Chains A and B, each alone.
Chain A
Amino acid sequence: MSSSLTRKAKCEGVDGYVSVKDDTITWFPDKPGSQTRKKIDVSQITQVKKTPDGTSRAMIRIEHSNGKLTLEFVTKTGRADFSERLAVDDAVQGLRKSYKQKQIDESERAKAAEEAKLAPSAPAPAAPVGPIVPLEGNLSAQEYERRMEVLNKRSDINQLHKKLVGQGLVRDSKFWEFIRYRLEDDDPVKAQASVKRKEVKRGFPTAWEDPTSSTAESSGTGHRFVLTAATRNKIFAQHPNIELAFRDNVPKKMTGEEFWEKYSKSRYFHSSRGGTATEADKLFALYDAQAPMKIAQELRDRKAGLTTTLDLEKADDHRVVHVQNVHQEGSSNIKNDMYLPKLQQLNRHGKLVLDSNASSKPSDIAWSADEDELQHPLPDLEEDRNPPMIPLKIKNRMLFFEGLGAQSSTAEPSVRKHGLDAMSDRISSWQPDLKRFAKPIPASTSIYKEVFGLSDSAKLNSR
């Protein structure tokens, strides 16, 4: 493939043009007759030297078997023009590269022909299955062989090649450029590596990627996911759409257990099998599609509720246009921030924890701290006043006991809930039986019977 390039360049102080075309580099003067035209064949070039970038002169020296050609590039204003020099240098290097490649190809072909002559008795190779369509020229021997091998081995690719290249829909080089991805995907080793590459994000611990992997248990009968509260929190922090689905469906349309079962089926069971979408898939597909919009709306709503003192967006920043994005190490922008997902996830984790705790909702706090600060900025200068108090009462005993229970991380939530339920019921239904205390003190066995309703045998067993 030949390309041509012409640029303005000085040679020995004379203005002129340099042209790189058809394996030759030619310099000719601006005004005919002022100096002779200089022509170099690419085969003659021995070395190409350049002045370093950023120096006062942009020069290139092409040394060849008959001497050397020194060219200088300047702009209209007389300054060194490194961009022009770069363009010519690229063209010359490209020419040298293709020349060297040609030489190698020719020597290999000659070698192959010699080998074929030396072994006349060898059986004739089987006629290749394809291709009927000829491959494009200018290919190295190895590349030619590789492509032939693919076409011989893969009938589907061969057919595609015939259809696309044979009918002139796509050029041969383009066909091979794009088929590369299919070949890579079909290669199991490479495919696995590429999947792994996609999963790993910088600044993002891999443990957060798939929170269930650490809690999965495999046995002969199947695969069991243990979704603890911590794992669920991680799933919510990682996937806002799942949190949205959970909030919408539990407990209105299904129980928590049913939800997590559907989640596991959709994300871990069916995902590996392909095929038709199940009911669980449909449920989550809906939220996958709607989540970005809903989350953006939720953010807007929450932002609208912020007080002026907390809303950082309410600023009078007039300078942004004139001096924005100065090159500074400390500056950071959202697009290129590779750690941003991690930071967002930590913020989200905090929000989830707060949202899950009813006592931290702003509406439950009896007074607004911001308003108080605006009204009483310097409390010690005022006369003593009664500070606003939050009434200390347990609104929902379940919430209170769950909060206590959450501190013990060892027990399963369902077990904990059951135990705490039983205990709180006992406490709330307990009535002092004063008559009992009027009786004479009974023996220990009868105490067991009366208080816990246990039989003698049960008592013995428990002992």
Chain B
Amino acid sequence: MKFNIGDTTIYFPYPYVYPEQYEYMKELKHALESHGHGIIEMPTGTGKTVTILSFIMSYQIAQPDVGKLIYCTRTVGEMTKVMAELERVVAYRNKCLEEENVDISKAKQGVIAVGLTTRRNLCLHPDVSMADSREEADSMCRSLTASWARSAAIERSDGSGVCEYYEGYRNEGSDAVLPPGFYDIDRLMEFGKQRKWCPYYTARHALNFANVVVYNYQYLLDPKIAGLISNQLARESIVVFDEAHNIDNVCIDALSVNLRKDTLGKCNGNLTTLSNKISDYKARDAARLREEYERLVRGISTTLIEQRTEQTMGESGVSELLGAPVLPQDIVEETVPGNIRRAEHFISFLRRIVEYLREKMTIQHVFQENPKLFLNQMQNTLMTDAKSLRFCSERLKSLVTTLEVENLSEMTPLQLVSDFATLIGTYGRSDNFAIIFEPTDHSGIPDPLLQLACLDASLGIKPVFARFQTVILTSGTISPLNLYSKILGFSPIVARSLSMSMERKCICPMIVSRGPDQVSMTSKFISRDDLSVVRNYGNLVIELATHVPDGMVVFFTSYVYMELMISYWDEMNVINRILDKKLVFIETPDITESSLALDNYRRACDCGRGAVFLCVARGKVAEGIDFDGHYGRAVVVIGVPFQYTESRVLRARLEYMRLALQIRESDYLSFDAMRQASQCIGRVIRSKSDYGIMVLADKRFVRNEKRGKLPPWILDCLEDAHVDMDTDEAVGTARRFLKDLAQPMQKSTALGIALLTGREVADLESGKALPKLSMNELRKGVTTGAFVE
């Protein structure tokens, strides 16, 4: 369908549009025209992605000076979905334009969309693609693609020691422009196989000229990677962070470093390796080290060298190293200090840092220090200044390049220490960081851990807001919006939480606080071993498994809690009773095992047996897997998924937020727990034709300060009678709900209320209001299906 929002024609690839989608587009238009940032919440299953894509693809036609779309997602699976949706949107848009005979340039019609992910996911080399970790794959790739490795291979002239796909890309692909298309992982791999081009480097090259870029948040938020990947993106680009409810944690992680005692132990090995290499180079190729020294004296940074090498020789290799972990505005444009210019001096400097940190970690008690104090002590003891510390990451990068170190994954410990030094050297004078040392883990087992924790989430995202003119944060669960924008430190032009228009109540949220014996259910630490609570939770799952058809998902607050509950349930025969009704699959710390369990769960649902999937909030499954349709007819959240409140880093962050942002600790903890809970229950519904039961099983959910933080679209459906239920009431309600919702859905009843045609959108544009149904009418509609006038 086509409709207008103001003077912009929107090409929407469906015959109907939801009212909230229309509202969303209006907000987007406002943000784009004001060149400001926005934060918009819209329920899961109401088509956020298609709304954003169809609006921006249409807006690009109306306003040709708008830059490319940078769509940031959370997982690779979501990236694939975005690409599929984009293809549909663009195909429809181009078809309409052809019909209208609109004169637009061919470049605009032929959209190039690229999805970028790690090279491990985008590798065709038989050995590298089998690497166990991302670091290992990066390191193996570097040993095949670095300039010196390639030179050595040319000298050998036997073709070994290089990657044929990378060579193919260098020979043909590095100057080529990709044909228009939608390059997700599978297509990039297919394209790479056909052309013999490395898919990863092809995708990176394509970022420069693609109209749409889809990648992970970290490519923009983590300064180490952003400097490498996203430094060429224009200011006019439109940045969208989808599923942005966890973005504050990503920002904080990007600027934090943890050091363990064994990391420091391995650093000594790294330093010895580098020392030996330096001695070796001195003996056979001293000119190389001299050249590096002179370059540093002249103040030419490694980044500049990379650019020059790229331009003059068409070589790469240097730029494959991650950058310094500091924000772009804090990068020092000065020469490297004299005391670390010589390779051997730098090695001894690093050795002193390692020794200093090691001595710090012999302390037997927990301490939390202001970074200013820590930096002062460090400077005094090491007889150095902050500037030398700031240059550590950059200097290490230069040295590793000069010495042609191949196995970079082995150098990770030293890289961590140099990142630590750079961060403390750069941000040691600010109050946004904390140094926390813990000699033991939570169970008292000695495991010294020194943490440089970033406390301010706004630090990481500030450069993104400053660099791009429009940044949109969107998710189904980021209420309350004002709190979130406060945490991220920006003033949005648009801040809106949209509700869900429904012709039938397709979700049934319930808060179950008591078991059939009226004993309260809670995941509080003191009640975890209370057998009556464990039994009541078990009963709830058994009862729901008995009455809910197909798939059912149960979320626990943590792995430890889930394992504890399963072991109790096993002893109490609960597991066997669930097995009588449905198969049981469980998310485990082993990712492969969990993926296969998930696959088997879906098989069980497909073949009609039905299954229960037990998993954890904040886990991989909770963050990236949808349980739509028959894969999830009910979702149960057992307990309130609070963060681990004994964590000292969390405490430090809470204190910082209280002092700097005036956010109360309890407010933040509740906000965080409820956004996780909302994420979990939101997994069950992916479109309005879908339906599902949402059970929050903990007495603490009844309290208003928790319940009130649920997104408005869930709160709208939460009836007063469903707020404080026991198991029997909940099961009865679930049975009635499932019986009603399983009836065929009549599209005609939704027209004009939950589905709009082009004419109705035009009416809205001209100022007419839509009819709105009350909750009673909604309930009535479920059973009778007749409430349209």
Q: Could you give, for residues 70-92 of chain A, a 1 whenever the CB lies within 8 Å of some chain B CB and a 0 otherwise?
A: 00000101010111000000000
Knowing A322-B257, A353-B583, A383-B15, say if A378 contacts B47 (CB, 8 Å): yes
| Of the residues A302, A306, A380, contact of B688 by C-beta under 8 Å | A380
Please tell me if B206 contacts chain A, counting CB pairs below 8 Å. Answer: no
- A310-B598, A347-B585 are known contacts. Are A317 and B134 too (CB-CB below 8 A)? yes
Q: B589 near A333 (CB under 8 angstroms)?
A: yes
Among residues of B, the one whose C-beta sits closest to the C-beta of A353 is B583
Which residue on chain B has the smallest CB distance to residue A339? B563
A136 within 8 A of B: no
Q: Please measure, in the bound complex, the distance between the C-alpha atom of A343 and the C-alpha atom of B364, giving whole angstroms.
A: 36
CA gap between A54 and B567 in the complex, in Å: 38
> At the interface, yes or no: A308 with Cβ under 8 Å from chain B?
yes
Complex: A83 Cα to B646 Cα, angstroms:
27
A77 touches B598 (CB 8 A): no
Assembled-state Cα–Cα distance A444/B405 (Å): 98
B205-219 CB mask vs A (1 if < 8 Å, else 0) is: 000000000011011
Q: Which of A79, A203, A312 has the most CB of B within 10 A?
A: A312
Q: Are B47 and A310 closer than 8 Å at their CB atoms? A: no
Given A318-B218, A347-B600, the answer on whether A374 and B563 have CB atoms closer than 8 Å is no
A286-335 residues at the B interface, CB under 8 angstroms: 299, 302-303, 306, 308-334
Interface-located stretch among B283-291, B606-614, B769-777: B606-614
Contact A313 B592, beta carbon cutoff 8 Å: yes
B77 close to A360 (CB less than 8 A): no
B84 at the binding interface (Cβ < 8 Å): yes
Taken together as a complex, chains A and B put the C-alpha atoms of A77 and B383 apart, in Å, by 13
Q: Which of A321, A331, A353, A359 has the most CB of B within 10 A?
A: A321
CA distance A79 to B575 in the complex (A): 55
Given known pairs A332-B560, A378-B687, the reply for A337 and B595 (CB within 8 Å) is: no
Shortest CB-to-CB span from A347 to chain B, Å, is 5
Contacting pair A327 B17 (CB below 8 A): no
Contact B620 A312 (CB under 8 A): yes
- Complex Cα spacing A310 to B606, Å: 15
Chain A binder among B103-111, B441-449, B660-668: B441-449
Residue of B nearest to A381 (CB): B14
Contact yes or no, A308 B588, CB < 8 A:
no
Q: Which A residue's beta carbon lies closest to that of B607? A: A360
Q: Are A342 and B566 in contact (CB under 8 A)?
A: yes
Contacts of A373 in B (CB 8 A): 626, 628, 686
Indicate which residue in A82, A314, A361 contacts B76 across the interface (CB closer than 8 Å). A314
Considering the complex, give the chain B residue whose CB is closest to the CB of A81: B362
Minimum CB–CB distance from B207 to chain A (whole Å) comes to 15
Residues of B within 8 A of A321 (CB): 135, 412, 415-416
Decide: A316 and B589 in contact? CB cutoff 8 A.
Answer: no
Whole-angstrom distance between the alpha carbons of A302 and B594 in the complex? Answer: 12
Complex Cα spacing A315 to B700, Å = 34
> In the complex, are the beta carbons of A312 and B218 less than 8 A apart?
no
Cβ–Cβ < 8 Å partners of A458 in chain B? none
| CB of A357 closer than 8 Å to a CB of B | yes
CB contacts under 8 Å to B, within A383-432, are 383-384
Partner of A357, one of B585, B602, B607, B621: B607
B364 x A82 contact (CB < 8 A): yes
A416 to chain B, nearest CB (A): 20
Nearest chain B residue, comparing its CB with the CB of A360 = B607
CB within 8 Å of A: which B510-526 residues: none
> Within 8 Å of chain B (Cβ to Cβ): is A200?
no
Q: Tell whether A326 pairs with B607 under 8 Å between CB atoms, given A339-B567, A347-B596.
A: no
- Within 8 Å CB of B586, what residues of A? 343, 346-347
* Chain B contacts for A354, CB-based, 8 A: 583, 600, 603-604, 607, 609
Please tell me if A344 contacts chain B, counting CB pairs below 8 Å: yes
Judged by a CB distance under 8 angstroms, whether B554 is at the interface is no
Give Cα distance in the complex from A349 to B609, angstroms: 14
A403 to nearest B CB, angstroms? Answer: 11
Is the CB of B709 closer than 8 A to any CB of chain A?
no
Query: Which residues in A have their C-beta under 8 angstroms from that of B306?
Result: none
Closest to B322 in A: A318
Q: By the criterion CB–CB under 8 Å, are A344 and B595 in contact?
A: no
Q: Is the CB of A346 within 8 A of B81?
A: no
- How far is it, in angstroms, between the C-alpha of A303 and the C-alpha of B16 when the chains are bound? 38
0/1 interface trace, chain A 338-373, chain B, CB 8 Å (1 if under): 011011101101110110010111100100010001
Q: Across the interface, which residues of B come within 8 angstroms of A82, CB to CB? A: 364
CB distance from A304 to the nearest CB of B (A): 11
Cross-chain contact A315 with B17 (CB below 8 angstroms): no
User: What are the interface flags for B52-93 relative to A under an 8 Å C-beta threshold, 1 for contact and 0 otherwise?
Assistant: 000000000000000000000001110011001100000000
B273 CB contacts on chain A under 8 angstroms: none
Q: Is A375 an interface residue (CB 8 A)?
A: yes
Instruction: Provide the bound-state CA to CA distance between A14 and B309, in Å.
Output: 61
Q: Closest B-chain residue to A79, C-beta based?
A: B363
Beta-carbon contacts under 8 Å, B319-364 to A: 325, 359, 362-364
- Cβ of B480 within 8 Å of any chain A Cβ, yes or no, is no
The smallest C-beta distance from B408 to any residue of chain A, in angstroms, reads: 11
- B570 with A377: CB separation less than 8 A: no
- Chain B positions 414-469 with a Cβ under 8 Å from a chain A Cβ: 415-416, 419, 438, 440-442, 447, 449, 451
A128 at the interface (CB under 8 A from B): no
Is there a chain B Cβ closer than 8 Å to A382's Cβ? yes
Whether the pair A329, B644 counts as a contact (CB closer than 8 A) is yes
Whether B171 is near chain A, meaning CB under 8 Å from some CB there, is no
Complex CA distance for A329 and B562, rounded to whole angstroms: 12
Q: Which residue of B lies closest to A379 (CB)?
A: B689
Q: How far is the CB of A59 from chain B (nearest CB, A)?
A: 14
Indicate if the CB atoms of B609 and A339 lie closer than 8 Å: no
Supposing A322-B253, A332-B560, A377-B47 touch, asked if A359 and B607 sit within 8 A by C-beta, the answer is yes
Residue of B nearest to A326 (CB): B258
A53 within 8 A of B: yes
With beta carbons under 8 angstroms apart, the residue of B224, B440, B449, B585 that contacts A350 is: B585
Residues of A within 8 A of B416 (CB): 321-322
The distance in angstroms between the C-alpha atoms of A415 and B559, with both chains bound, is: 45
On chain B, the residues within 8 Å of A81 by CB distance are 362
> Is there contact, CB below 8 Å, between A313 and B591?
yes
Contact B216 A322, beta carbon cutoff 8 Å = no
B residues within 8 A CB of A381? Answer: 14-18, 47, 755
Determine if B50 and A316 form an interchain contact, defined as CB atoms under 8 angstroms apart.
no
A314 CB, min distance to chain B CBs, angstroms: 4
Tell me the complex Cα distance, A309–B624, Å: 8
Are B588 and A340 within 8 A (Cβ)?
Answer: yes
Q: Are B449 and A327 in contact (CB under 8 A)?
A: yes
Beyond A310-B602, A381-B47, whether A328 also contacts B15 by CB under 8 A is no
Query: Do residues B594 and A312 form an inter-chain contact, with CB atoms below 8 A?
Result: yes
Q: Which among A330, A349, A354 has the greatest number of chain B C-beta atoms within 10 A?
A: A330
**Do B566 and A343 touch across chains, with their CB atoms under 8 A apart?**
yes
Task: State the Cβ distance, B587 to closest chain A Cβ, in Å.
Answer: 8
CB closest residue in chain B, given A333: B589
> Which residues of the partner chain B approach A357 to less than 8 Å between Cβ atoms?
607, 609
Contacts of B441 in A (CB 8 A): 327
In the complex, B186 has a CB within 8 A of chain A: yes
**B438 and A327 form a contact (CB under 8 A):** yes
State the CA gap A83–B563 with chains docked (Å): 37
Chain A CB within 8 A of B381 CB: yes
CA distance A302 to B631 in the complex (A): 20
Nearest Cβ on chain B to A50's Cβ, whole angstroms:
13
Q: Which of A95-131 contact B (CB under 8 A)?
A: none
Does the CB pair B442–A365 fall under 8 Å? no
Sample (13) of A-B pairs whose CB atoms are under 8 Å apart: A308-B80, A312-B595, A323-B253, A326-B647, A329-B646, A330-B560, A346-B584, A349-B584, A353-B609, A377-B47, A380-B687, A380-B688, A381-B15
Given A321-B415, A342-B566, A350-B604, list of 4 further CB < 8 A pairs? A308-B77, A315-B75, A334-B589, A378-B50
Chain A interface residues toward B at CB < 8 A: 53-54, 75, 77, 79, 81-83, 203, 205, 299, 302-303, 306, 308-334, 337, 339-340, 342-344, 346-347, 349-351, 353-354, 357, 359-362, 365, 369, 373-375, 377-384
List the 3 closest pairs (A to B, CB-CB), nearest first. Answer: A330-B558, A360-B607, A309-B77
